[in-house]
Amino acid sequence: MSSQLFKIILLAISIACCLPFIVKGQAIYEGQIVDKNTEMAVPGVTVRLLKEKIGVNTNDQGYFVLNSSNTVPNDTLVFSSVGYHTFQLPVSAYKDNLFLLLHPSNTELDEVSITNRKLKDIRLNRFDWADIATDREITTFSTNYAFAKLFTAPNGNMVLKNIALGRKRREHKPLKTNVNVRFLLRVLRVDQQTGTPGSVLFTKTVSLHDDAKLIRIDLSDDKVVIRDSQFYISVEWLRIPYNEKIGLSQSPKVRKVTKKGGDILENVSDYRISYLPVLLAMYKKKPAVSWVKIDRNRWKPFNSATKSSGLEIALSATVHH
């Protein structure tokens, strides 16, 4: 064996021995920081690792995620912000889902409270498989732009974790319907003056590739933070050939007019194009407030109309707070 080959093998062995330690050193630190007196989220707090010299700032909800590629042994997390006492936490004391109560600097310093309180998951506007098993089709909304449903949480400052959606499976008619569907999922503020869907907080393009009736959309990687306790989730249809649903039916047409002025009718084939997805609905005594967009700028109530009274679209959301 040549000396050069021996050196290459030795180097490979050394790298392989070090890999477990490199992987072991990786870590993710995340949590939420609130004011100890007001219990309001504290945005703009600098969170840094003292020895590794990396850091991030909390968002508007006091939430942070700090990725360490190779944590230095005995490193320290430092939390600092104008108007608050700086707090240091050894990484050995860090616990998942960190919840930090930071003390304002204009009052007497007490002990800073840290807990590993597990963040709760709450499902809003819940529906179950049994609720949509009857397969009641509402409409394809082929002449409208979007549908929006109001959600109310116990409080604000939450992370949107996932969304569940009930939809009508494609009908196997003589004309083939594309199994692939694409639409826009949006999170919107509530317009404080009108109560209608307001400005857009988040948009995600969702693509479906099967006939599943109950759709779950994971948003955990999107880090969608919602400040207010009330918000809207909307489904916006894309009027593209990719989403076309072609319906074949028969409609009576006038074939001939008799001498006495009467009409002789005959059924002729009629083609109708609508757009997927088709949403499902449940009957409820007190359905959630919902709106339908009738053009690019105007919304109208969905379930206050006679034909939709008591109906609620099968759309739920799970929030993490």
Q: 164-211 pLDDT, tens per residue?
A: 898 876 554 444 456 688 999 999 999 999 999 999 999 999 998 877
Give the position of tokens 């759309």.
315
183 vs 243: CA distance, rounded Å: 8
Residue 15 confidence (pLDDT):
42
Dihedrals phi, psi of 112, to nearest 5 degrees: -80, 130
Whether residue 112 is predicted with pLDDT greater than 70 in this model: the reply is: no
Please check whether residues 162 and 276 belong to one and the same domain. yes
Which domain-ending residue is among 115, 145, 168? Answer: 115
For the domain that residue 110 is a member of, what is the CATH number?
A: 2.60.40.1120
Prediction pTM value: 0.59
Mean pLDDT lowest among 21-30, 95-104, 254-263: 21-30
Q: Peptide bond preceding 277: is omega within 30 degrees of 0, i.e. cis?
A: yes
pLDDT attached to residue 20: 37
Does 9 fall in a domain?
no
Contact 195, 147 (CB under 8 A): no
- Residue 230 clears pLDDT 80, i.e. is over it: yes
Question: Could you list the residue range(s) of the whole structural domain that residue 239 is in?
Answer: 121-320
Q: Which of 115, 140, 170 is the last residue of a domain?
A: 115
Side-chain-side CA neighbours of 165 within 13 Å: the count stands at: 26
C-beta separation of 58 from 42 below 8 A: yes
Average pLDDT over residues 226-238: 94
46 has a pLDDT exceeding 90? yes
Please report which residue ranges of 58-184 form alpha helices under DSSP H: 129-132
Q: Based on the structure, what is the number of domains in the chain?
A: 2
DSSP string covering 214-269, please? EEEEE-TTT-EEE-SSEEEEEEEE--SGGGEEEEEEEEEEEEEE-TTSPEEEEEEE
Specify whether 102 is located in the same domain as 209: no
Higher per-residue pLDDT: 237 or 23: 237
> In the block, which residue shows the tokens 């739920």?
316
**Do 87 and 107 belong to one domain?**
yes
Higher pLDDT: 242 or 150? It is 150
Q: Which range (191-195, 242-246, 277-281) has the least confidence?
A: 242-246
The string of pLDDT tens digits covering residues 55-98 is 999 987 688 889 888 778 889 999 999 999 999 999 989 987 68
Measured distance CA(316)–CA(215) in Å, rounded: 10
Is pLDDT of 109 > 70?
no
Domain end among 84, 115, 146: 115
CA distance 86 to 81: 7
